[in-house]
Amino acid sequence: MIYEKHSYVTGSMCDGKLQLSILAADEIVENAVTELMGDLGIDGIVAKEKYKAMWLIVKNNICFIRRPAWREKFTVYCYISKHSTVKLNIDTIVKDEKGEILVKARIELAAIDLETGKIRKAETVGFTEDMENPVETEGLEFARFSKDPGELAESVIVRSTSLDYCYHTNNIEYVRFVLNTYGIDQFKQHEPKQVEIHYGNQSFEGEKLDINKLSTEDGDLFNITRDGNLITSCNIKWF
């Protein structure tokens, strides 16, 4: 199955350049994945109520070719491109009216048991092989991140509006935390090329998270930790 949705860039999706913001692109990708899973009947609510499990985003890799402008129309395509015993790869492609790719992304999903916290086989939470559309998008392979922790850039406290329906910190909020370490000049002078996020552990309301930064030749690697334990890593590359 291929999920398809026609939309356009609204004002709330724009950044200071009146283009689709990084956060809005992440929201488009995650919304497409959740709606695809809903159409397949294996979304998070079903997993929780029927299978006593929860889907977690393990990794997310978003690549920008061109960011659409305010009111520009686009179409989102989303499908399960590959699976293993315990993981699903879901590709999302955003195209303009000419059919040219604007943004492409891949999310890796895994399900955990709500009682034991252990990884569940995908087939135990409703996935069947006929749900897959085995066409992998090029250039979305996940990277291995450096083990260097970097230097402390900022600390944040998780607030109530950063939580999802399971009362964990929403995945997109980690990207917001990282982006807020930049000044506005970074966004004025550079265009995002890639944002890759690896999610390791959950965080909760009231917790203090330290954001550590390691700069590289083509971008920045951020490690978000709680009491020295890694929660999330995010690698951002710029044009």
Mean pLDDT estimate for the chain: 96
Q: Quick one: pLDDT at residue 75? A: 98
H or E segment to which residue 39 belongs: helix 22-40
Please check whether residue 217 is in contact with residue 47, taking contact to mean a CB–CB distance below 8 angstroms: no
Res. 216: pLDDT tops 90 = no
Q: Which two tokens stand for residue 220?
A: 């920045």
Please check whether residue 110 is in contact with residue 87, taking contact to mean a CB–CB distance below 8 angstroms: yes
d(CA 169, CA 157): 11
Domains and CATH numbers, the chain: 3-131 (3.10.129.10), 151-238 (3.10.129.10)
Cβ neighbours, 10 Å, residue 74: 18
Least confident of 28-37, 104-113, 162-171: 162-171
H or E segment to which residue 111 belongs: strand 101-113
Question: Can you tell me the mean pLDDT for 52-61?
Answer: 96
Question: Can you tell me the mean pLDDT for 212-233?
Answer: 94
Question: Can you tell me the mean pLDDT for 116-134?
Answer: 96
d(CA 194, CA 25): 11
Angle ∠(40,197,239) on CA atoms, nearest 5: 115
Q: Quick one: pLDDT at residue 238? A: 95
Res. 3: pLDDT tops 90 = yes
Task: Give the type of residue at 212.
Answer: N
In 114-190, beta strands by DSSP E: 119-120, 151-157
In 2-72, beta strands by DSSP E: 3-8, 53-64
Q: Which two tokens stand for residue 26?
A: 């992440």
d(CA 53, CA 187): 39
Question: Can you tell me the mean pLDDT for 59-64?
Answer: 98
Q: Quick one: pLDDT at residue 191? A: 95
Question: Can you tell me the mean pLDDT for 95-121?
Answer: 97
Supply the pTM of this predicted model: 0.95
Residue closest to 77 by CA, chosen among 90, 64, 60: 90
Question: Can you tell me the mean pLDDT for 29-39?
Answer: 97
CB contact set of 90 (below 8 Å; sequence gap of 6+): 33, 36, 78, 79, 80, 81, 106, 107, 108, 109
Q: Quick one: pLDDT at residue 113? A: 96
Res. 102: pLDDT tops 90 = yes
Q: Quick one: pLDDT at residue 217? A: 80
Q: Quick one: pLDDT at residue 149? A: 87
Q: Quick one: pLDDT at residue 72? A: 98
Residue closest to 169 by CA, chosen among 158, 155, 180: 158
Question: Can you tell me the mean pLDDT for 63-82?
Answer: 98
